[in-house]
Chains A and B, each alone.
Chain A
Amino acid sequence: MKIMPCPVNGPRPVSEFVYGGEVRPMPEPSCTDAEWADYVFNRSGIPGVKIEWWYHIASGTWFLAERDVVADRVLRTWLPGEDAVQGGAR
């Protein structure tokens, strides 16, 4: 089982987590329809290191993870508004 380092509960099996998608800045509500559609639908589908939302189901914790989506390696995780803590792939 792959291990995800939760910033609150420490290393836990990845099956305890839900993937929340890549972090994307929301445009101002005054933006154009095209900009809003781009925000709603379009994704950066190219491979690389991405910052993503993850959710620990058992403790109800949303947090951020920096992950290499090619090697599937978690580089670090942290709570929103906090400094990153060292994670690492297992």
Chain B
Amino acid sequence: MFRQHDRLKDSYDVVIIGAGGHGLASAYYLARDHGIRNIAVLERGYIGGGNTGRNTTIIRSNYLTPEGVAFYDESVRLWQDLAVDFDLNLFYANRGHFTLAHTDSAVRTMRWRAEVNKHLGVNSELVGPEAVKEACPQIDLSCGGHAPILGALYHAPGAIARHDAVAWGYGRGADQRGVEIHQKTEVTGIDVQGGRVRGVHTSRGYISTPKVLSAVAGFTPRVTHMVGLRTPIYVHPLQAMVTEPMKAWLDPILVSGSLHIYVSQSARGELVMGASLDPYEVQSTRSTLDFVEGLSAHMLDMFPFLSHARVNRQWAGMADMTPDFAPIMGKTPVEGFYIDSGWGTWGFKATPVCGKTMSHTVANDEDHPLIRGFGLSRFERYELTGEKGAASVGH
């Protein structure tokens, strides 16, 4: 599916660190739309082996701030013809997405999100518990009696897709256009002279380049440290798990902030489930029994009949969190060093639009209009882009 390259060249026009969805999408659009093909994508592990392959694959645009809604809506639009673009089945399944509200204040937030969404042309509406029951008859609307569902934000465009295929599609498309993808190649340092990027030190030797794009999710602080840049990013693990496959019964995607759950059923029949972030910093991908116990208990509140279901696998990813739950993207004070980061627990759905906007930013050395609310400099101006109400558990 991809060419294997025996050696690195001495120089490239652009070096992209990280061969996950975001890095490969950026390479793909740089080659396809901007005619820049002398690109190396460096990956310390294997293609799509980081958070691209560890998320729970939910795609939606029902965010809270106008900046966020416009950005994610463009991403949902880009998803639509991606499979045709790649000539590869992404198993994109439009399921509909319910964010459940168990308290009056949650109902108010859902109404707020619905109105912001409608104003910006995004299909979201506030619905009552009966609409949830109709879409998902198996649910216990009282959630065991202690967290009754009062309503929900319904977002019809909500979808899931096969995450590995997204990385493969972008990777193959970039590869066919001349981009070199180097797996098992770790970046060990970035050469900055006079405030400008000059090159990259790797585990396979030095390469010179005027432009470096970092798209490394939970490894972002290690990379920004290499160029002496301080950021607000902090790393916590995010865990997920799947059950054994079962007959198809859950069509929509369900999210509950109060119960810390998001769940969908994959094409293979597994229930794919996640919860909120681990409560403290850990920079590894270990997973815990506490997580399985906590999430299972909350799942049983909603679906008591699942008490016999077995959990087959669990895993974790390192989430690069920001103080306002919005990403950090674009140019930096180091000339030629660009970041696509702060994707915490909400990055998969944004893969196409990140590729589009970061390729524009790198090619023109100018932030794309859609990402101007997401610059690193917003923090020193105290101009945050508050997305916590829509991003924290609502993946």
Contact = CB atoms under 8 A, between A and B. Distances in A.
Interface residues of A, number: 24
Nearest to A1: B290
Interface string B279-298: 11111101011100000000
A19 B279 contact: yes
A45 B379 contact: no
A82 interface: no
Most chain B beta-carbon contacts within 10 A, residue among A1, A43, A70: A43
A34 B380 CA distance: 6
B contact residues, range: 20 to 34
B235 interface: yes
B283 A47 contact: yes
Contact of A46 (B221, B290, B380): B221
B375 to A, nearest CB: 13
B323 A41 contact: yes
Do most interface residues of chain B lie in helix, strand or loop, or is the interface mixed? loop
Given A37-B379, A72-B286, A45 B280 contact: no
B284 A72 contact: yes
25 contacts: A2-B290, A19-B279, A33-B380, A34-B380, A37-B379, A37-B380, A41-B232, A41-B323, A41-B379, A42-B230, A43-B221, A43-B232, A45-B221, A45-B222, A45-B224, A45-B225, A45-B233, A45-B234, A45-B320, A46-B222, A46-B225, A47-B283, A52-B280, A70-B284, A71-B284
Pairs A-B, 8 closest by C-beta atoms:
A45-B221, A19-B280, A47-B283, A41-B232, A41-B379, A42-B230, A37-B380, A72-B282
Interface of A: 1-2, 15, 18-19, 22, 33-34, 37-38, 40-47, 50, 52, 69-72
Interface of B: 220-222, 224-225, 230-235, 279-284, 286, 288-290, 320, 323, 379-380, 382
